[in-house]
Amino acid sequence: MYNIKGYLDACTVSEAIELLAQNPNLRIIAGGTDVLIKMQHGQFQEAELLSIRTLESMADIKKLEDGTMIIGALATFSQIFNDPIIQAEIPALAEAAVSMGGPQIRNIATIGGNICNGATSADSASTLFALNASLRLESKTGARLVPIREFYLGPGKVDLKPGEILTEFRVAPEDYRGFGGHYIKFAARKAMDIATLGVSVMCKVAAKTLTEVRIGLGVAGPTPLRCVEAEEFAKGQEISKDTLAQIGKLAVKSTNARTSWRASKEYREHLVEELVQRALKTAIVRAGGEELA
């Protein structure tokens, strides 16, 4: 049951910021696919909602002249999946977007909400981690840019200060150009499911060598994370089955999986080792490398 005490609809970003400054108890609602469920489960009582749904400027996806990708926080998952720029430049993000929920949810859920919700299972998060995306947060006192890896503070906790609105994601050209990427969502179902593990890998290859590898994981710890040790090792390694196997093993070292009724720690770690290799295999091909037998 939705116990909605108040509902404000902002017409511009500055108006939203102003309203938020006046009443810090306002809870921002965009697509509502997380907020409404939390309300139904009684997680917030008597919510006063501030809707930002109609702020069209925050839904843009564009590439700036210097190559920086801008993804508005209100871009929906359907929009991201169907966007020609995303499909051309960072297809792994399109893969992540289309893996989320079902068509109806993808039509309304936003990438900004997905990240601000703070869940380790957020389908867009591991790819945004691998892309070194940064978040633009605006408030009455100004704007700040925060790298996504610093935005997550703990399970369900993000660095969104009172009065702040996430307006857009930025991906610098050096973080996606020349990379091949792939996202694997491992879940019990092919749709309408939460990931048991999300693996997003970006890599660059030259000749038969990996020049850079980035591995973002979801549900491998309390927040999305990067596999730094594996990435360090991978740099400059010759592409081979052995290399991939070692990367898979090292990736597990960065994880902090736990046993729950959903899956055991042992199984999750096994999946990390296996799926990092599978994602990297595809990413290598997409980066222009040769397919490993």
Strand order through the sheet with 47-51: 4-9, 47-51, 27-29
Smallest distance from the beta carbon of 230 to another protein, in angstroms?
A: 18
According to DSSP, residue 258 is labeled: -
- In the complex with another protein, the residue whose CB is nearer, 3 or 54, is 3
Smallest distance from the beta carbon of 264 to another protein, in angstroms?
A: 6
- In the complex with another protein, the residue whose CB is nearer, 145 or 191, is 191
Q: Do residues 24 and 162 lie in contact, with contact meaning Cβ atoms separated by under 8 Å?
A: yes
Q: Select from 217, 207, 188 the least CA-distant residue to 280.
A: 217
Smallest distance from the beta carbon of 186 to another protein, in angstroms?
A: 7
- In the complex with another protein, the residue whose CB is nearer, 106 or 204, is 106
- In the complex with another protein, the residue whose CB is nearer, 101 or 118, is 101
E-only strand ranges, the chain? 4-9, 27-29, 47-51, 61-63, 69-72, 134-139, 142-147, 152-154, 157-158, 165-171, 180-186, 197-206, 209-218, 225-226
- In the complex with another protein, the residue whose CB is nearer, 176 or 186, is 186
Smallest distance from the beta carbon of 214 to another protein, in angstroms?
A: 23
Smallest distance from the beta carbon of 224 to another protein, in angstroms?
A: 19
Residues near another protein, by CB under 8 A:
1-3, 102, 186, 188-194, 196, 261-264, 267, 270-271, 274-275
- In the complex with another protein, the residue whose CB is nearer, 153 or 188, is 188
Q: Do residues 106 and 98 lie in contact, with contact meaning Cβ atoms separated by under 8 Å?
A: yes
Smallest distance from the beta carbon of 187 to another protein, in angstroms?
A: 9
